[in-house]
């Protein structure tokens, strides 16, 4: 990959996240192709609409596909759908990837790169966390509310610790498109840092049926959110990742100032779609336990969400 030349991209999954970042890249003239599932007809006919603090825009025509086998070869495949769709990821990547293609996994949670690594090899996988508030309002219509930074890095342990040339190329393309993409040397710590927010606020928003503002305004739920953050910090420490206290303070402050926000997990729960319980809760919990630490409250939240996820999708006991 030549850092002076723009790369080509396949966006795997055109929901809130894929629609926003892919849309920004396309608006900037970068070569982007979208794999679209539920909204394919709409996006093919009407394009992609993005409401964003970065400027509203409407792409009347985008290169979109309903089947991965129809897509052109690209330099970077961006995995932008939820981990709950990963059942078809291997087959999808087989169609989209050429030998030189690398895969950038922009999913929430821990160890979410494993599925892509099993398919193309871990040395061709990058992972990233998106710090953003973004929802899909309707077919092909994305609403970007706030934030938007992507922190990303190499997944392979051998490649961790430094910023690779392909990371610089991707960062250059994204920044050219107005996306705050930050190359990071330590993807694991980035993932744990994101979990500091996702574990309390995704989890409690579902269990307490509350948005971020309601959780932060009540002293009991705000205290619980903080306790959960401390457990994530302690779990990260046991897994070799240091998260500073000031990161917790900033996450709480940012959330307090945030517009009332429904986490993606709450939206999935309300839409009776599967929640990303294993990626965001099960994997970090098992990593902590394997490292000799038992985060009691994360465990409890995980068990509550497992129950609610099954009940929500018509568990046989309901």
Chosen residue from 64, 96, 159, 207 binding a second copy by CB under 8 A: 207
Q: Rounded to whole angstroms, how far apart are CA atoms 311 and 318?
A: 6
Chosen residue from 2, 99, 220, 246 binding a second copy by CB under 8 A: 220
**CB–CB of 187/154 below 8 Å?**
yes
Chosen residue from 41, 69, 91, 303 binding a second copy by CB under 8 A: 303
Cβ at position 204, least distance to a second copy in Å: 8
**CB–CB of 184/126 below 8 Å?**
no
- Residue 122's Cβ-count burial label (10 Å; 0-12, 13-18, 19+) is middle
Cβ at position 245, least distance to a second copy in Å: 20
Q: What letter would DSSP give residue 5?
A: S
| 217 lies in the site for a second copy, by CB under 8 A | yes
Phi-psi sector, 109: left (phi>0), alpha (psi -120 to 50), beta: left
Judged by beta carbon, residue 249 or residue 300, the one nearer a second copy is 300
Q: Is 194 tagged catalytic?
A: yes
Q: Which is catalytic among the residues 82, 136, 188, 194? A: 194
Build a one-symbol-per-residue string for 282-301: x at contacts with a second copy by CB under 8 A, - elsewhere: --------------xx-xxx
Query: According to DSSP H, which parts of the chain are helical?
Result: 16-27, 40-46, 89-96, 114-120, 165-176, 187-207, 212-217, 219-238, 245-257, 264-270, 277, 283-290, 296-312
φ, ψ of residue 306 in degrees (nearest 5): -60, -45
- Residue 81's Cβ-count burial label (10 Å; 0-12, 13-18, 19+) is buried
Q: Rounded to whole angstroms, how far apart are CA atoms 168 and 13?
A: 24
| 314 lies in the site for a second copy, by CB under 8 A | no
Judged by beta carbon, residue 159 or residue 222, the one nearer a second copy is 222
Cβ at position 217, least distance to a second copy in Å: 4
Size of the site for a second copy (CB under 8 A): 31
Task: Give the range of 91-99, 101-109, 140-148, 212-220 binding a second copy by CB under 8 A.
Answer: 212-220
Build a one-symbol-per-residue string for 245-284: x at contacts with a second copy by CB under 8 A, - elsewhere: ----------------------------------------
| Active site positions, annotated | 194
Residues that bind a second copy (CB under 8 A): 204, 207-210, 213-215, 217-218, 220-221, 223-224, 227, 296-297, 299-304, 306-308, 310-311, 315, 317-318
């Amino acid at each position: 990959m030549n850092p002076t030349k723009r790369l080509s991209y396949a966006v795997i999954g055109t929901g809130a996240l894929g629609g926003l970042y892919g849309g920004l890249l396309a608006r900037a003239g970068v070569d982007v192709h979208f794999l679209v599932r539920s909204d394919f007809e709409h996006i093919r006919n009407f394009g992609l609409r993005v409401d964003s603090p970065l400027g509203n825009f409407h792409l009347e025509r985008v290169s979109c596909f309903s089947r991965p086998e129809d897509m052109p070869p690209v330099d970077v495949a961006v995995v932008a759908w939820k981990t709950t769709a990963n059942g078809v990821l291997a087959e999808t990547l087989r169609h989209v990837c050429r030998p030189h293609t690398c895969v950038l996994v922009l999913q929430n949670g821990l160890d979410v790169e494993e599925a892509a690594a099993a398919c193309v090899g871990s040395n061709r996988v990058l992972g990233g966390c998106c710090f953003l508030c973004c929802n899909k309002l309707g077919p092909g219509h994305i609403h970007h509310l706030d934030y938007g930074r992507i922190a990303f890095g190499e997944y392979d342990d051998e490649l961790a610790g430094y910023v690779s040339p392909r990371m610089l190329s991707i960062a250059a393309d994204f920044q050219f498109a107005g996306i705050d993409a930050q190359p990071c040397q330590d993807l694991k710590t980035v993932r744990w840092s994101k979990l500091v927010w996702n574990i309390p606020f995704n989890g409690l928003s579902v269990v307490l049926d509350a948005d971020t503002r309601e959780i932060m305004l009540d002293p009991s739920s705000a205290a619980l959110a903080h306790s959960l953050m401390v457990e994530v910090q302690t779990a990260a420490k046991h897994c070799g990742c240091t998260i500073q206290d000031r990161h917790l303070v900033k996450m709480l402050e940012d959330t307090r100032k945030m517009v009332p926000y429904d986490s993606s997990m709450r939206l999935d729960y309300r839409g009776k779609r599967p929640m990303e319980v294993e990626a965001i809760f099960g994997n970090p919990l098992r990593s902590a336990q394997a490292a000799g630490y038992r985060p009691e409250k994360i465990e409890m939240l995980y068990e509550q969400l497992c129950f609610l996820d099954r009940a929500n999708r018509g568990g046989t006991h309901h």
